[in-house]
Structure 1
Amino acid sequence: MRILSVICGIVLTVQFVYGGVSDATFTVLVKDEAHLPVTNATVGANFMRSKPIGSGAGSETHQHITGQTDTNGLYVFHGACNGVVYWSATKDGYYKTYALPVAFSNSIAGRWLPWNNTYETVLRKIEHPIPMYAKKLRPREFYIPATNSPVGYDFVKGDWVAPYGLGETPDFIFILDCVLGETRKSGIQMYNATLSLSFSNEDDGIQEVIDNPRTEGSVYRLPRYAPENGYMSNWKSSTSADLKSVNCEYAEDQNFFFRVRTKKDMDGRIISANYGKIRGPLFYEVLSRGTSLQMIYYFNPNPNDRNMEYDPKRNMSENLRTGERVNEP
């Protein structure tokens, strides 16, 4: 687990310094999940260019180039840029990729180096997308309603269980243990907090899965099917803040699968269960006005179906605000 430290009260800015416009060439290789080349994939690249000072709104413009991969899955891009290029790939029957950066180190004699490096990406096939309950709980908008006592969350209703909301089935049970310290004049809240997660049924549980951060590669992340075994009956994460830093136990490549609503026969064998996934970290933030929870979840309502390929056009969650909608599979 990575520990994230943020210096409180100080804004740290990373500034990229680009040179003038120079020629750039690079090759892209598009493969499928079997690592075979994808022919006739459409690839596009934006070669960014800085605008002259005083030329109007916006600091950059770009040259957009598109092409088709050959029988080896390759395409060579040529263009001119200020050192920044983003490219992507798509093809009918596959999930598209995010915009992928090309890394140049420096410009010599009017050419960006390295010259003609090869960059790879994987296109994942669209196989069996299904309707699911999916919702994005947004930071600083969705708050844990109680401290030091269990509160349940219902994936179908998309709300806390009564008395805190309209939920009926406590799929996840959270307990926030939080000790608040003083609040400085700057508004910084001192605290020590632990968020614990437990479940309603024996053999309900959660397990972590590591995948690339959500802005790398295909928009469809994670395995297609939730695991059959390996679920933990509890999970917890701690965070604290003092005058110097905030320490949080989470990582950008952290994701989860979960199993809930588990039913067993007289011999202890599972006869029914529902599966789902959490894309990205399960993150919470202690603020002076409360503790907000961040979670992007997908819940398959079909018992014993471990398929996690969600169809964004058939979200079963109702009455979602714009920021709560999940548009990625």
Structure 2
Amino acid sequence: MKILIPLFCCFVTLCSCSIEFLLPEGCITIMVIDEEGKPMEGINVGIGFEKNTGSGTKGIPVRGVTDSMGKFTGKHNTLEGVQYRAYKGGYYESSGEYRFKNEVGKKWQPWNPEIKLVLRKIEKPVPMYARQFVGVLPLKDKDIGCDLIANDWVKPYGKGTHSDIIFHLRKRYVDDSDYSADLLIKFSGKNDGYIKYDLNMYNGSEFKLPRYARVDGYAKQFVRHVIRPPGRSLQDDRNDNIGYVFRVRSSGSSTN
């Protein structure tokens, strides 16, 4: 019995290794640049290749630092999905994921794609406040103001006193298979509004938005729309890769 246990463990380990090396080999190069597009040397890079354990996937880390051209190349036997990240003190971490397209001759294709990652420097962080407001609009077909400081609807629907953002819901509901809704979002102040930014929420720097808000170019309103016609699937214009900068209580704004 004392002999069989280590032999069994050795057999399981060998099987695991053989399954891993049966996978095609993948290779990618991460090129790290600064915000001006210049290559960054000596940046820590981690590439996470993957293997199947039989009860899920497990990461196979390959780590290194970028050379004088800002590049680090990693390769390993892997499944088609690869994750990567670049990090250094004084910079926001940047990360992403890549999926190989097909296998040719036990090598994933395209072979050794070059992926650029931008590291954004941490300059002068400003303390910010995060609010999570979960509430149901008190009425439909009516303007309802939301006070961001009070974190509530304005009176008489809540304890708020200033309409930073105004919501107007138009809704049609027959049953769970036949409904539609438009949520109009607008701003009360003369100079208030929003700017929309197209972002890649799942790749790139963890710091996504511009460092400084623009002076002009703020739009006054936008609409969120969902519809589920009878016998058809839900259609929703939500886009998680869009970010917004709101300007409220600006000079010359009015109070509802």
TM-score tier (shorter): 0.7 to 0.9
Q: Could you tell me which of 71, 76, 81 is aligned with 1:79?
A: 76
- 1:260 is the counterpart of 2:241: no
Give the RMSD, CA atoms, in angstroms: 2.2
Higher-helix-fraction structure: 2
Look up the match of 2:144: 151
Take 2:22 and 2:161, find their aligned partners in 1: how far apart are those partners? 60
Look up the match of 2:212: 225
- 1:107 is the counterpart of 2:100: no
Q: How does 1:54-73 map to 2 (within 5 A)?
A: 58-73=55-70
State the AA in 2 paired with 1:72.
M
The change in CA–CA distance for 1:177 and 1:112 in structure 2 (over 3 A counts) is same
- 1:251 is the counterpart of 2:239: yes
Look up the match of 1:40: 42
The change in CA–CA distance for 1:180 and 1:20 in structure 2 (over 3 A counts) is farther
TM-score where L is the length of structure 2 = 0.82
State the AA in 2 paired with 1:194.
D
| Cα distance, 1:37 vs structure 2 | 0.8
| Cα distance, 1:135 vs structure 2 | 2.7
State the AA in 2 paired with 1:112.
W
Q: How does 1:164-203 map to 2 (within 5 A)?
A: 164-181=157-174, 183=175, 188-203=176-191
Q: Could you tell me which of 168, 173, 197 is aligned with 1:209?
A: 197
| Cα distance, 1:79 vs structure 2 | 1.4
Unaligned runs of 5+ in 1: 1-18, 53-57, 265-269, 271-329
State the AA in 2 paired with 1:262.
S
Take 1:262 and 1:48, find their aligned partners in 2: how far apart are those partners? 50
Take 2:180 and 2:108, find their aligned partners in 1: how far apart are those partners? 48
Take 1:167 and 1:83, find their aligned partners in 2: how far apart are those partners? 51
- 1:119 is the counterpart of 2:107: no
Number of equivalenced pairs:
233
Identity, in percent, stands at 31
State the AA in 1 paired with 2:184.
S
State the AA in 2 paired with 1:169.
H
Q: Flag the structure with more relative contact order, 1 or 2, with Cα contacts below 8 A and sequence separation at least 6.
A: 1
Which of these two proteins has the greater Rg computed from alpha carbons? 2
TM-score where L is the length of structure 1 = 0.65
